[in-house]
Structure 1
Amino acid sequence: MSMTAGYLTRNADRFRIVVAMWVVVGFGGFLLFGAFGLMLVTGTGMFADKAVVDPGLEFAPGREVAIRDGAGPGNFLVLAHPTSVDLRTVECTWKSQVYSTGEQNVGRLEIARPDGVAATVTTSGPTTRSFVPLAATQDTEWMEPSLLTCSGRGAESFAIASADGIMTDRFRWGTGAVLLLLAPVMAGLGALALHFTRKWYRQRASATVTTGPTPRRPGSLA
């Protein structure tokens, strides 16, 4: 056998090993992508609506607070306690920082159940309390609000928490749809790899049967 033929044979064997590995990768990816895709689309398991929060700041109705004291830079979530508060009477007004021009913008948060958050959330820790979500910065320009004031009939307190980890329906459905589309692709690759692996195994077994064992020369030792 020439050096070129031997080199090609070794590379062919390596390629067949890689293809055989794709049997596991393909079918494993099908199960993994399918499971995560279903959980994302249905909003179950680790992708369920956020139900546990860690309020960084709790404040009394009518008190003006700095949003950064309750949530770090980025998105924030506004909550009210107790859960029986009349949401129709709740108002939350935000103010921006005072700009170099002396201007300060003012606006109101839209009071509605935030997307990706459970209807009622509980605080983390040994002593849990229940809050009702009022708004999240997915519906506002989070870069502008700096100060916040909330009031409402029946509200004993309000709280600000980080909105990190909240997955909106749009994100869940979009990501879940991509994974569910990739799942059959991975299964197809696994099935194709299995087909070629079996084909090469049959070819090798057939070649061994056809050629038979190497004959011994007369006088050679057994």
Structure 2
Amino acid sequence: NNHLSPQINDRINYLQDALKRLEADANRHKHRLLENASLLQFMWKADVVESWISEKLHQLRTDDLGHNLLSVQNLLTRHETFEAGLNNFEHEGIRSVTDLKEELVSTNRANTSNEQREKIQARHELVWNNWQKLLQTSGLRREKLKKAEDRFRNIEELFLRFAKKASAFNSWFENAEEDLTDPVKCNSLEEIRALIDAHDRFKTVLEEARYDFDELKAS
């Protein structure tokens, strides 16, 4: 029978409505916070991945292909280790950021708006393109090193063949020089004729040796 009851009821109803509005505002605020947290988490991970990719691309900006077979083989070994690191990072970094992207853009996730999804998709595409660029650049570096290895190996094989021929020619030359400087001792005309015949044969061999020598110089 309180004459103020209507006013009290109106006040209670007002406060209840205000509380509902406050709860709705709090839920919307929480939703926005979760959206921003998810986006920031993804962007941070994408930044880490891109920083790693950028560092590796910088390492590949070199024209050093070695100066001999051993040095280029050492560079190839280092590049194999480099590519093993890429393979590990594909599992630890690229797949991780891709999985997070898939989770955030999933239509079943209520905390991600369409605008956030578009930002995440665009950022992931940039990361993925840079990753593909890194793989391509690494592959080109490997091909260049392989070609350099083949070239230096061919040079070494040519040098070994040259050294072998040069050694054989030098031995022949020393023997020929020794024969030509030996004192001539003949006790008969037949011995003189035999020496002349031998010398004529030597001149023929000398022409062949000159041909071999010219071939040796050309190699």
More helix by share: 2
| Structure of greater Rg | 2
Q: Which has the higher contact order (CA 8 A, sep 6+)?
A: 1
TM-score by length of 1: 0.34
Give the structure-2-normalised TM-score: 0.34
